[in-house]
Chain A
Amino acid sequence: LAKTTQPISMDSYEGQEVNITCSHNNIATNDYITWYQQFPSQGPRFIIQGYKTKVTNEVASLFIPADRKSSTLSLPRVSLSDTAVYYCLVGEPGGGNKLTFGTGTQLKVEL
């Protein structure tokens, strides 16, 4: 069961790049890493998923080093609307494994 650890909170300013790191030291071979964004009283929203190296989509990039014991979500040029909680999820394709959400990182973006 891969336990994840994230910073509790981060602060940034509009237009800055934000990097949020998730530690998952005992990640299993078949585990994928997925990041979600959550606003208050709403369900989490899928951001990005990866297995190794780098994945990029229209909203974020995900960097995973070779040992896969951590991952970094990179948000380019954040805005006030990016203020939210960000969760790192580690789990195995095919199920049969508990889906463990991290503690979540509260990102606050200011002007």
Chain B
Amino acid sequence: DSGVTQTPKHLITATGQRVTLRCSPRSGDLSVYWYQQSLDQGLQFLIQYYNGEERAKGNILERFSAQQFPDLHSELNLSSLELGDSALYFCASGPGPFAEQYFGPGTRLTVT
């Protein structure tokens, strides 16, 4: 158990819908990272927050957005969902801007 929690564990929704994935980092960690992992794309970095501020941006689509709240939990919002958005979404947290990362168990999103 890494200490990072993600909810929900599974999510099934239809194309065109919007969903919110939630992440609670390990106690004391200031950095939160979001990743997408699909079978054909591997592990893709989406975005990083550090102490509430966006720190780095990866291949995150404009339909996706994220934020880190004052209590340091983070949410990833996915809108106008497409079939290709079906994937495992991982959140990770770490003590610093690029220290080691501790990954949560992931949210499996299925878009039908």
Contacts and interface: CB of A to CB of B under 8 A. Distances in A.
A99 B45 contact: yes
A98 to B, nearest CB: 5
A101 B44 CA distance: 7
B105 interface: yes
B2 A43 contact: yes
Interface residues of B, number: 31
Contacts of A103: 42
Contact of A42 (B42, B96, B99, B106): B106
Contacts, number: 72
Interface in A78-94: 87, 91-94
B101 interface: yes
Nearest to B48: A95
A25 interface: no
Nearest to A31: B98
Interface string A37-80: 01001111110010000000000000000000000000000000
Interface residues of chain A: helix, strand, loop or mixed (majority): loop
State which size class the interface on A falls in: 20 to 34
Contact of A44 (B43, B99, B108): B43
A43 B104 CA distance: 6
A26 interface: no
Interface of A: 32, 34, 36, 38, 41-46, 49, 87, 91-101, 103-104
21 contacts: A41-B88, A41-B108, A43-B2, A43-B4, A43-B106, A44-B92, A45-B2, A87-B43, A92-B98, A93-B99, A94-B55, A94-B98, A95-B31, A95-B56, A98-B57, A98-B58, A99-B33, A99-B45, A101-B35, A101-B43, A101-B45
